[in-house]
Amino acid sequence: MVFSSNLFLYVFLPLFLICYCLARTVGAKNAVLLVFSIVFYAWGEPVFVLVLLLSVTINWIIGLKIAQGRRFALASGVGWNLALLGVSKYAGFAAEIFNVLSGAGIPVPDIALPLGVSFFSFQAISYMVDVARGRAQAERTWLRVALYITMFPQLVAGPIVRFSKVSHQLKQRHHTLMRVSLGLRVFAIGLAQKVLIANEVGHFADVAFSSVGLLDAGEAWGGLVAYTLQIYFDFAGYSNMAIGIGLMCAFSFPRNFRLPYSSRSITEFWRRWHMSLSRWFRDYLYIPLGGNRGGTIRTYANLVGVFALCGIWHGAAMNFLVWGLHHGAFLVIERMGFGSVLQRLPAFVSVAYTLLVVMSGWVWFRAETLAEAITFFAALAGAGGNDFLDEVFTEAVNSGWIAAMIAGTLLALVPGAMWRRVIGGASRTLSRLPLPGFIGAVNHELAIRDTLALGLLALALIFVAGSNYNPFLYFRF
């Protein structure tokens, strides 16, 4: 069940909000949220609900053991979560690599991937490490640990929430009309990002990457730009919907994106893209490995190693590993001095450099195999074909696609401060008009924001009702 589906928008979410509002105490609200989270997960993965609840129980027990100072408790807990992640996601990949390197013919296991296993495993590790470091107390109540790990707004695709950041909210939180209003606005923006931009440009990207050997240069670049916008607004939209639902429930989830495509370096890009994951790898892997404290070579090795693991975390395939190494290599290059050069260059030059690096990385990320990625790079350079795709692309290119490409480009690159100035200017204009009664007394800037959000929500709901194309890219991970 995806957030942008009719089932979720018209049945699951309204029913959840009604039950949640009827619950009087925080404990009752937690119980409602947990039940709906389990139903949400079971809707797509009924078999793996037991695996999820077993993992919750094991992490709860080990968290208590860590608090008691039991030796090896943290290692066993982290080992359990990595084993669950490794067996379900990487067993087949490891067998394939072993067969290639050794020439053996061991059977490649075909293990179904539990929904959201990458995210809930990382959240569970965060819980145990935060307890071990003294940043949070071990939770004695199973329900709260279960709620932290399974909370449906961010269970499947994040943002990754630290236990130390929400532990107090699990016990006490303040529900206000202002939070609900803000949550609805953020949810509407996220839904519009997903439905009005990501889905619209996604058709073109799908055609391009499914026919890599037939593309001319224009089609290849058009497909790459479309995918660059699709993956951003698909994932950022989902994150904003999750943050919005969290606000409605009085939870504060971390922001996950901050205009990453306007970054002036790859270093800055990773401070703005999937920020909860970047911080997780920094705090729970990069710094424990020594970070930048072990000398230049050790720092470079840590960077490349962490991003190799980041790539593999996204998917058990060689193209994801190459994508991670791609970013790790450019981070090392910037550490070697190129980063300071970028800051001295005109902004449009350094932004163009960052976009080129990121977009070339998306080729490795989106292609099904390394061979397809190499073929796509050849098409970008003009060494591809031009068979029947002009007619196919004509079907994917329509007024909705053009509008989504233009809007997506502007929203991805224009700073938020500029949009705020536009809204502020409109607000000041309204305040000078002789508006009657209560209309003239309202907060015009807030009214403009709410009106825009409601308009986007209405338009997005129309698109959801009338479209059968509704992929969610991060379900792959």
Per-residue HEC secondary structure of the chain comes to CCCCCHHHHHHHHHHHHHHHHHCCCHHHHHHHHHHHHHHHHHHHCCCCHHHHHHHHHHHHHHHHHHHCCCCCHHHHHHHHHHHHHHHHHHHHHHHHHHHHHHCCCCCCCCCCCCCCHHHHHHHHHHHHHHHHCCCCCCCCCHHHHHHHHHCHHHHCCCCCCCHHHHHHHHHCCCCCHHHHHHHHHHHHHHHHHHHHHHHHHHHHHHHHHHCHHHCCHHHHHHHHHHHHHHHHHHHHHHHHHHHHHHHHCCCCCCCCCCCHHHCCCHHHHHHHCCHHHHHHHHHHHHCCCCCCCCCHHHHHHHHHHHHHHHHHHHCCCHHHHHHHHHHHHHHHHHHHHHHHHHHHCCHHHHHHHHHHHHHHHHHHHHCCCHHHHHHHHHHHCCCCCCCCHHHHHHHHCCHHHHHHHHHHHHHHHCCHHHHHHHHHHHHHHHHCCCCCHHHHHCCHHHHHHHHHHHHHHHHHHHHHHHCCCCCCHHHHC
User: In the structure encoding, which two tokens stand for residue 127, read together?
Assistant: 């819980």
Whether 444 sits among the annotated catalytic residues: the reply is no
User: In the structure encoding, which two tokens stand for residue 224, read together?
Assistant: 């790459």
Q: How far is CA 72 from CA 66, 76, 126, 325, in A?
A: 8, 6, 16, 32
Is the N-terminal amide bond of 288 cis, ω within 30° of 0? Answer: no
Question: Among 194, 234, 253, which residue's Cα sits nearest to residue 467?
Answer: 194
Amino acid at 1: M
Options 168, 174, 274, 314, the catalytic residue: 314
Distance CA 85, CA 120 (A): 10
**Residue 476 φ then ψ, to 5°:** -65, -20
Question: Catalytic residues, which ones?
Answer: 314
